[in-house]
Amino acid sequence: MRVVTWNVNSLRARLPRLEELLTQHQPDVVLLQETKVSAEQFPHEELGALGYHAAESSSGQWTGVAILARTDLPITDATTQLFGNPVPSEARWVEATVDGIRFASVYVVNGRSLDHEMYFVKLEFLEAMAARAGDLKGSGPMIISGDMNVCPRDIDVWNPEAMVGHTHTSAPERKGLQAILDQGDLVDAHVQRYGEDAQQFTWWDYRAGMFHKNQGLRIDLHMVSRELAGQIADVRILRDLRKGSKPSDHAPLELELTR
C-alpha cells in the first residue's frame, strides 16, 4: 500500500501536478493539506476522472484538508470533528477509515510568532491532536499525516540558528508534537526509515532560490501506529514534484507499506 501526504498550497492551482502524482505514483491513499477551496468548488469530478474519490474539510480561501482514495477503496466513517480543537471552523482536520486503517489529514496552525495569540492556539491544537491519538490507540492501525508546522529535531532544519526566536522549532511546539507520538504510540515514519542522522526536507521557501540551494525544513510527517511500523517498506520525498511548472512549496511525502 502506498500513502502520500502533500501540502498542495491550493488544490485547484495544483491539479496538473496532482494528476502527475496520481498517474506516475498511483498511490492508494493521498492526504492533502491547504486545499484552499470551498466545499462547493471541491473538484470531486476532476478527481473522479483520475480514479479517486475524497472526504474533505473545506473552508475556502486559506486552509482545507482532504483524504483521497482509489475509487475502488471505500472511505468510511469520515469526520471533520476534533475534540478540543480551538479553531474548529478552519478546516484543519479530516479523519476517515480506508482499508482498515484510520487516517487523519492535518494542517497544523502556523503560529505566526512566539508572542502571537495564534502561537498559543497552535499549542492547543497540538494538545487536541495528542488527545485524539490517545483515544484511537489500541483500536486498530492509525496513520496521522500532514503539515505539522513543527520541525521535530534540529537536523530537520537547514539552519537551526536562524530559527531561534521563531516558530517551528521552539521547545513547547516540539513537546506538543512529541506528545502526539507518545499518546498515540506512533512513530515518525521518516525517523523509522532513515534513523536519527539523516537530513531531508519536505518544504522550501519559494523565495531566494531556497529549493535550488536545498535550504529547507522537514515539517510534513507520516505518524504511523507502532503495529504498522514493521510494515514500512520505504519513505520517499518526491522532490521532482517540487521542481518544474507551478510547484507547491512542499514536496509530497510517500509512505510504502508491505500490507
Active site residues: 107, 147
**Applying CB under 7 A, which part among 72-80, 123-131, 190-198, 242-250 lies near DNA?**
242-250
Name residue, grid cell 476517515.
96
Distances (CA, A) of 187 to 31, 38, 178, 193: 18, 33, 10, 10
**Applying CB under 7 A, which part among 24-32, 66-74, 124-132, 201-209 lies near DNA?**
201-209
Nearer to DNA, 77 or 205 (CB): 205
Give the number of other CB atoms < 10 A from CB of residue 16: 10
Regarding 43 and contact with DNA (CB under 7 A), the answer is no
**Minimum distance, C-beta of residue 250 to DNA, in the bound complex (Å):** 7
Nearer to DNA, 141 or 216 (CB): 216
By CB under 7 A, what part of segment 3-22 binds DNA?
7, 9-10, 12-13
Regarding 203 and contact with DNA (CB under 7 A), the answer is yes
Regarding 231 and contact with DNA (CB under 7 A), the answer is no
Q: Can you tell me the distance from the alpha carbon of 59 to that of 66, in angstroms, rounded to the nearest whole number?
A: 12
**Minimum distance, C-beta of residue 91 to DNA, in the bound complex (Å):** 12
Residue type, position 140, single letter? G
Regarding 213 and contact with DNA (CB under 7 A), the answer is no
Distances (CA, A) of 213 to 7, 166, 201: 21, 21, 12
Nearer to DNA, 141 or 146 (CB): 146
With beta carbons less than 8 A apart as the criterion, state whether 58 and 38 touch: yes
**Minimum distance, C-beta of residue 33 to DNA, in the bound complex (Å):** 8
Q: Can you tell me the distance from the alpha carbon of 12 to that of 42, in angstroms, rounded to the nearest whole number?
A: 8
Tell me how many residues contact DNA (CB under 7 A). Answer: 29
By CB under 7 A, what part of segment 119-178 binds DNA?
147, 149, 167-168
Query: Contact positions toward DNA, by CB under 7 A?
Result: 7, 9-10, 12-13, 34, 36, 38, 60-62, 109-110, 112, 118, 147, 149, 167-168, 203, 205-208, 217, 219, 246, 249-250
